[in-house]
Amino acid sequence: MKLVTWNVNSLKVRLPQVLQWLEMNPVDVLCIQETKLTDDKFPQAEIEAAGYQVVFTGQKTYNGVAIISRHPIEAVQKNNPLFEDEQQRIIAATIAGMRIICAYVPNGQALDSEKYPYKLSWLAALRDWVKAEIEQHPQLALLGDYNIAPDDRDVHDPAAWEGMNLVSPAERAAFQALLDLGLSDSFRQFEQPEKTFSWWDYRQLGFRLNKGVRIDHVLLSKPLADRCTSCVVDRVPRKWEQPSDHAPVIATLD
């Protein structure tokens, strides 16, 4: 069983790459973020023609999330019922007995931006909702773009980034609060190469110089974490022409 998260940075632009990647990686569940498409423009037929089911919730220009699955998708929930939000950042569903939550956490922009307290309250509400979801669905996976690098190991230059958005203590505390629900950062269950990241800036040769951060995560509840045999970042599509700035993160379960 392979569960994947990938921020595609516009599904309109990236659909060919998503289909190409799925052909090379026939995974079970692919959670995507930043589709940037209203639902009427979503390429449902193309994804279904590739042999997958898909559910989605989007908006114009910004945000938008979807779950692509090889297995039947049930009990779809759009957005956090505990958090009034016009932005389309969450979609959840039950797939193969697992509760799958696909989340696009607000970026926050900067600590002095009004988007930063929005990010923190959004994360607090996510925690409250996921706590209730785990009680109902012990087999739960929370996948997405968290816009948080949990540890200094997850930042190419921790000194330069210290205290900034994505690594600030309050954001890292919010990430820890999710782990405290009994979730495991599947990437850290295993020995990993140093300087493994999931996002690299388009500018300044960010990818070539591996100046990245690890902000895309697959969090697993205990029953799923116990079945997890690997978690890797696939850098391959980041090398393609006109790539997303994020790479897919793949967790494999027995």
Partner DNA sequence: ATGGCTTAGGTGCTAAGA
Question: Which residues are annotated binding-site positions?
Answer: 7, 34, 145, 147, 245-246
Q: Is 7 in the site for DNA (CB under 7 A)?
A: yes
Total number of residues binding DNA (CB under 7 A)? 29
To the query of whether residue 145 is one of the catalytic residues in this protein, the response is yes
DSSP bridge partners of 103: 90, 144
- Binding positions for Mg(2+) are 7, 34, 145, 147, 245-246
Q: What torsion do the CA atoms of 200, 196, 123, 93 make, to the nearest 10 degrees?
A: 100
- C-alpha to C-alpha distances, 142 to 48, 112, 127, 209, 218, nearest whole angstrom: 24, 28, 11, 30, 6
Select which of 104, 116, 146, 216 is catalytic: 104
Nearer to DNA, 114 or 194 (CB): 114
Among 16, 20, 60, 210, binds DNA (CB under 7 A): 60
Residue 164: both structure tokens together: 């900034």
- 217: contact with DNA by CB under 7 A: no
Distance, in Å, from the CA atom of 14 to the CA atom of 242, rounded to the nearest integer, reads 8
- The string over 134-168, giving b where at least 16 C-beta atoms fall within 10 Å of a residue's C-beta and e elsewhere, is beebebbbbbbbbbbbbeeebbbeeeebeeebbbb
List the catalytic residue out of 145, 154, 185, 216. 145
List binders of DNA among 169-198 (CB under 7 A).
none
Contact with DNA (CB under 7 A): which of 93, 95, 123, 215?
215
Q: Is 175 left (phi over 0), alpha (psi -120 to 50) or beta?
A: alpha
Instruction: Clarify whether 202 is annotated catalytic.
Output: no
Start-to-end C-alpha separation, the chain: 6
Helix (H) or strand (E) holding 19, with range, is: helix 11-24
Active site residue 246: yes
Please tell me whether residue 17 binds DNA under the rule CB under 7 A: no
**Binding track over 66-95 against DNA, x by CB under 7 A:** ------------------------------
So which residues are the catalytic ones?
104, 145, 246
Binding site residues, DNA, CB under 7 A: 7, 9-10, 12-13, 34, 36, 60-62, 106-107, 109-110, 115, 145, 147, 165-166, 199, 201-204, 213, 215, 242, 245-246
